[in-house]
Amino acid sequence: MPTGAEGGSAAAKQAAPPRLRPLAFVVAAAGLVLAFLAVAPDQDLGWNLPVAILGYLLATIAILDGLGTLDGDPTARDGGAVPAPDPSPPLPDTPATGRRDATGAEPAVAADVGRSAEPGADEAPVPFPWLRLIELASAGAGCFAALRLAVMGALPWPRLSAALLVTSTFLWVVVAVFRVAAMLAPGAARARPLLRRHGFWLIAIISGLYLPRLGSFTLVDPWETHYGEVAREMLVRGDWITLWWAQDGLFFSKPPLDFWLQGIAFSLLGVQTAPDRVLEGVARGLEPGPEWAARFPGFLAALLGAYLLYRGVASAWGRRAGLIAGLLLATMPYWFFLARQSMTDMPYAAPLAASLGLCLIGFGTEPEARARLYPIRLGTRVITPSAYHLFAGALLMVVLPQLVYLASRNLTWLFATEPRLFFRLHPDAFLVGSGGHNCGLPGNQACALLWPRSEGILAQPAVTALGFAALTGLLLAATRNERRRQRLAFLGAWLVVALSVLGKGAPGLVIPLFTIACFLLASGRLRDLDRLELAPLVLILAVVVLPWFVQSYLRHGWPFLDRLLFHDMYKRAFVHVHDTNAGADTSLRYYVAQLGYGTFPWSGLAALGLVSGLRARPADGAWPPQAAALLRLWFVTAFSLFTVSLTKFHHYALPATPPLAALAALVVDRALGDGRPRAGWRRIAYGAAALGAATALLGAIHYARASRLDGLVVEGSPGAPCWPVATAAFALGLGLAFALPRLWPRADAARDPSEDAALAAIALLACPLLALVGRDLVATIGGLPGPTRLMHLFIYNYERPWPPTLDFAPALLAFTVVATVLTGLLIVPAARRHAATLLLAVGVLFTAWSVNVYLVAAAPHWGQRETIATYYRRRQGPEEPILAYQLNWKGENFYTGNRIAVFVSDSDAFKAHVAALRERGRRVIFVATEHRRVKNLERDLGPVRRLERLISPAQNNKFALVRVEL
């Protein structure tokens, strides 16, 4: 059944409907029953989530088979499962030519998701890749075990071993996925083996940069710990619809995707979520790492977003440009810092980046080009998975868990209550108050079981699930014949847009739709409106986004909508609500400045890439210039939306970075020129020399200012300059830099003079821009130390003082000077490609330094992990409780599993609680507070035997822990 107003091609219209397979639907039902049995128990049995995932997977595959979608191309059905030949040329390493076909559409240079069309690609069915799948399962098991061990903190040398194990096993998974794909498309794998795949290198570089210390530093207050605590309560309360946490009570401010992702990760990776258990392992010599679980989903989202942006840019400008776009995005502070923050922002910005990539593919693909099929022999059958199955499988894996969970809200399998192992049919109800038998602590809402505001049979979750199941069936029926690459790219884009909406709400929908509408109008491509799959877009949004919204509304009524839609979306946009910019200039320049810091060291090239009309190489009117226009429109939409919004936080501009990265990548790609170093050792040597030269030059400038690389200030200084080392490093760096032209000699004699001039002009203007941004990051301006500005990209309170024990100005000066000089060298044609390579190396080194040195050193001052861990190390047992005094951050809740009495401002309540503890014979208590409030604490405690500060300002300049002997 074709979709869209156009109705699809003639072939699609004449296609016979695929044969349904009733037996597969029986298997699907079994999978759903299995999943239901895993989510229906009234207590966590440890195996619930893995078994449920297995059930969803089984049901997904069986539903796709039951619909007959695995039986070949439905538009070429002739009784057999013979796949249609792939008509498209390969995705180019070098830029596209920009030809138009007879229909006026753009050339078919785009790749669909999962396509690896290569000349000579095998068309014959291949055997089912059992061995490769076993290898993939082993790799997955290895990665899973590594993550669980990291979360448990049981490894010796926990940070180092977790870094090595998690990164290496994750890369093993990536390699294993490729080897499965290589079995399915042996021709493509032969044509371009793994190590020649740009996408692999992008994933490897991002994983190598982001993963090693992902979970080895504290969650940063307040966002990470806030959302982590909501996810933790979600698990212990056993309620994935109504979100609750101690300091707010019912939590309606954000849609649930981030909490669901964190909840899944917490559950699968074995985070001890029960009260008093999160960090309790430190008392037994372990180093629990719940941060690994909290941040891993954000890392995956960031990786997927960067990868699909690579695919999109590659489809228009070639693989190298795509790789550079992904690399630039991954090395921008906005992206890499927020990829390491378990906030709601990456789960909504990464799908937006992915949708941008998929839109680039969709608009750049010839409308009737068909997706490649991968025929696989399975017993007597030949099955033909394709990009459609990636889309439909992902859709079902997102929708089915929601529907099964809704159904389980009316039918509970009794494990914790009598009669055990029986099922109980009941109306929907939900718990408020802290889960895990944690009721009654001061600072917590009293526990209660409440009934939904909307009663009646139609408001029951199981009934709404039936409605959404019907819509899902309609969507699948409407799209099951779709094998056109363009349509599949758009369907994929809408799926990730829906996820983005589920991540943070309206901006996830407004940015892509407004941009695309403007693009169609501006480019005169209104005919593409028919091909955009708008009807499926509505259905996808309905089945992916609405189940949670509808059920939450039925449970909580108007206050839910009022808070989420009006207070946290409408009012944040049009009324000044809840930010920390008092006295700051929140006009146009607000996000101009933040984007400067958030895209360093690409700030200059990103700004110039945005305004320049470079890349006119293909013929006018061809797809690449239009794609550049789409990127610009995307940026302008995102930037305008957040600038117009009256409520501003620095990290809000994150969705504007993917198009900036892509546009800057086009400049860098052209600066690199045509060709590449000759094969073999020269390529490796060229890369190594560039990385070595960049490292040495950075080291030279750093050592000319300070000797300590870790940024620590000891005795008031980050170390005296070390001139011998600086001189030697400078000489080494220059030597290596001058070796670069020998390894990659200039070959593109026929350069375009106009392009030369354009690149020179861009470099000339980008250079001072970058220097200005760098100056802000290095110098103290208006009392604000420069290095603080990077931290401000993702934190809440911009008034927090920078720790005097840290000084990163020398390192940031080194990055600024080297990046500025290299940007300036882009003016010189003879040095351009090597300067561009060195800039890429500087970007990679800047990212490595930022996430492994800067963030790891600074984060402990913005988080409470060490404070609470010290409590568990020092306490004799639960009889020595911890209290929070005049503390309203969130780490105290998360890291104690909310087993903490919180007194934000009520001194009398605090005194009464301490008196009650005394009466109960408690001799020792611990108090978490801020350093500046310890005096108040002493006053409110009255006379005590002993008061001991356990955390010094050098360890944490904000949060303190006090041990009190009553």
Among 57, 126, 286, 636, contact with another protein (rule: CB under 8 A): 286
CA dist., res. 705 & res. 726, Å (int): 9
Does the protein bind another protein through residue 142 (CB under 8 A)? yes
CA dist., res. 445 & res. 692, Å (int): 57
Which residue carries 């044609």 as its tokens? Answer: 829
Does the protein bind another protein through residue 270 (CB under 8 A)? yes
The span of 278-286, 358-366, 493-501, 642-650 binding another protein (CB under 8 A) equals 278-286
Does the protein bind another protein through residue 138 (CB under 8 A)? yes
Task: Map the footprint of another protein across residues 92-121, applying CB under 8 A.
Answer: none
Least distance in Å: CB of 879 to another protein?
22
Does the protein bind another protein through residue 13 (CB under 8 A)? no
Angle, alpha carbons 927-931-934 (nearest 5°):
55
Does the protein bind another protein through residue 772 (CB under 8 A)? no
Does the protein bind another protein through residue 234 (CB under 8 A)? no
The amino acid sitting at 319 is: R
Least distance in Å: CB of 52 to another protein?
16
Does the protein bind another protein through residue 146 (CB under 8 A)? yes
The span of 15-23, 142-150, 332-340, 422-430 binding another protein (CB under 8 A) equals 142-150
The span of 137-145, 352-360, 676-684, 901-909 binding another protein (CB under 8 A) equals 137-145
- Residue by residue, DSSP assigns 603-642 as HHHHHHHHH------SPTTSHHHHHHHHHHHHHHHHHHHH
Does the protein bind another protein through residue 155 (CB under 8 A)? yes
Least distance in Å: CB of 824 to another protein?
43
Enumerate residues 6+ apart whose C-beta is below 8 A from 278.
232, 271, 272, 288, 290, 894, 895, 896, 897
The span of 4-12, 282-290, 847-855, 929-937 binding another protein (CB under 8 A) equals 282-290
CA dist., res. 791 & res. 759, Å (int): 32
Q: Give the helix ranges, DSSP H, for 40-102.
A: 48-66
888 φ/ψ angles, rounded to the nearest 5 degrees? -135, 50
The span of 140-148, 211-219, 330-338, 774-782 binding another protein (CB under 8 A) equals 140-148
Instruction: With beta carbons less than 8 A apart as the criterion, state whether 693 and 835 touch.
Output: no
Residue 930 β-bridge partners: 959
Q: Which is nearer to another protein, 141 or 619 (CB)?
A: 141
Angle, alpha carbons 614-617-623 (nearest 5°):
90
Instruction: With beta carbons less than 8 A apart as the criterion, state whether 472 and 62 touch.
Output: no
The span of 139-147, 506-514, 609-617, 940-948 binding another protein (CB under 8 A) equals 139-147
The span of 135-143, 605-613, 660-668, 788-796 binding another protein (CB under 8 A) equals 135-143
What is the dihedral sign for C-alpha 915, 920, 922, 926?
Answer: negative
CA dist., res. 819 & res. 840, Å (int): 9
Residue count of the chain: 966
Helix, strand, or coil here: 949?
A: strand
Direct distance between the N- and C-terminal alpha carbons of the chain, in angstroms, rounded to an integer: 76
Q: How many residues bind another protein (CB under 8 A)?
A: 19
Least distance in Å: CB of 142 to another protein?
6
Least distance in Å: CB of 173 to another protein?
14
Least distance in Å: CB of 282 to another protein?
10
CA dist., res. 88 & res. 106, Å (int): 12
Q: Which is nearer to another protein, 275 or 281 (CB)?
A: 281
Instruction: With beta carbons less than 8 A apart as the criterion, state whether 462 and 406 touch.
Output: yes
Does the protein bind another protein through residue 586 (CB under 8 A)? no
Does the protein bind another protein through residue 156 (CB under 8 A)? yes
Does the protein bind another protein through residue 50 (CB under 8 A)? no
Does the protein bind another protein through residue 148 (CB under 8 A)? yes
The span of 145-153, 471-479, 625-633, 949-957 binding another protein (CB under 8 A) equals 145-153
Does the protein bind another protein through residue 493 (CB under 8 A)? no
Among 94, 161, 580, 936, contact with another protein (rule: CB under 8 A): 161
Enumerate residues 6+ apart whose C-beta is below 8 A from 923.
880, 965, 966
Among 15, 113, 165, 302, contact with another protein (rule: CB under 8 A): 165
Least distance in Å: CB of 155 to another protein?
5
Residue ranges that bind another protein, judged by CB under 8 A = 46-47, 138, 141-142, 145-146, 148-149, 152, 154-156, 161, 165, 270, 284-286
